[in-house]
Amino acid sequence: MKIASVDFTVGAVDLHQLPKDGLPEVVFIGRSNVGKSSLLNKLANRKKTARVSSTPGKTRELNYYLVNKQLYFVDLPGYGYARVAEHVRAGWTALIENYFHSRKQIAFAVQIVDARLGPTDLDNLMIGWLDFYKIPFVLVLTKADKTPSSRLQTQMIAVEEAMSKYHYLHGIVPFSAMTGDGRNDLLKIIEEHILVAQDSSLKKFIRRDEFNSSRNGRFSSKDSDRTTAVA
């Protein structure tokens, strides 16, 4: 997928403010400071696509970016920021759970974790929600440039093992916003899922095994015209 345009659309504080055009959504999730904004900016190849909050942990907005006039990247508020009042935390939880539960446009999720740490307890909670709400997702291990390659190998194996119980996990991608490593792999995975989600003959939410069998049929070399649909 080539990203030709990215336009900020809305910073929604409740679900009534979400776009009503029905375009598919790719949602980006991670704890505060994990590198979510940097990843979004790297995907867009821009320095300042993702809005940066001056008070980290305080924003509860779902920031919508229209990509190629065809789909949305949704930047979810980061979680796990220590100095957040309990009622803010509870509000965040309710907003996100409602969003996952009710938003049929969610086609795919990108769960971002720190390559050095692997998934934290809160990350695991989010991953559990994604799986529960049947949202296909990819796990991105970011800041890979800060991790020695031998350590990254070991971490990949450990994370694969720990994630094997999730049905809706569609891959683990090491990534660096600094070097751009993983950018093409991530865009490819996103594109595949958007194509499947847009195909009305298929169910929107599909299990990993179902996805793989549908992909084998759909993404053959003869289908190369299809794969440029969102390019």
Interface with ligand GDP includes 185 (CB under 6 A)?
no
The verdict on 111 binding ligand GDP (CB under 6 A) reads no
Query: Which part of the chain contacts ligand GDP (CB under 6 A), choosing from 8-16, 29-37, 58-66, 205-213?
Result: 29-37
Min dist CB 217 to ligand GDP, Å, is 36
Q: How far is the CB of 65 from Mg ion (least distance, A)?
A: 13
Q: Which stretch binds Mg ion (CB under 5 A): 32-40, 107-115, 130-138, 222-230?
A: 32-40
Measured at the alpha carbon of residue 137, what is the angle toward residues 135 and 141, in degrees to the nearest 5?
150
Residue 187 contact among ligand GDP, Mg ion, none, beta carbon within 5 to 8 Å by kind: none
All residues at 6 or more sequence positions from 160 whose CB lies less than 8 Å from its CB, including other chains: 172
| Residue 147 binds which of Mg ion, ligand GDP, none (CB < 5-8 A, kind-dependent) | none
Q: Contacting ligand GDP (CB under 6 A), which of 24, 57, 78, 80?
A: 78
Neighbours of 213 (CB within 10 A): 12
Residue 143 sits in the site that holds ligand GDP (CB under 6 A): yes
Q: How many residues bind ligand GDP (CB under 6 A)?
A: 16
CA dist list (Å): 212 to 114, 217, 229? 27, 9, 20
Q: Among ligand GDP, Mg ion, none, what does residue 178 contact (CB within 5–8 Å per kind)?
A: ligand GDP
Q: Which two tokens stand for residue 169?
A: 């996990």
Closest CA to 104 of 19, 3, 28, 6: 19
* Contact with Mg ion (CB under 5 A) among 37, 59, 142, 155: 37
C-beta closer to ligand GDP: residue 6 or 34: 34
Nearer to Mg ion, 25 or 192 (CB): 25
Of 6, 18, 27, 35, the one binding ligand GDP by CB under 6 A: 35
- Pairing relationship of beta strands 71-75 and 62-67 according to DSSP bridges: antiparallel
Reference 61, options 86, 88, 25; nearest CA is: 88
Written as one string, the DSSP assignment of 62-113 is: EEEEEETTTEEEEEPPPB--SS--HHHHHHHHHHHHHHHHH-TTEEEEEEEE
Q: Which of 37, 48, 45 has its CA nearest to residue 4?
A: 45
Give me the residues that bind Mg ion (CB under 5 A), please: 37
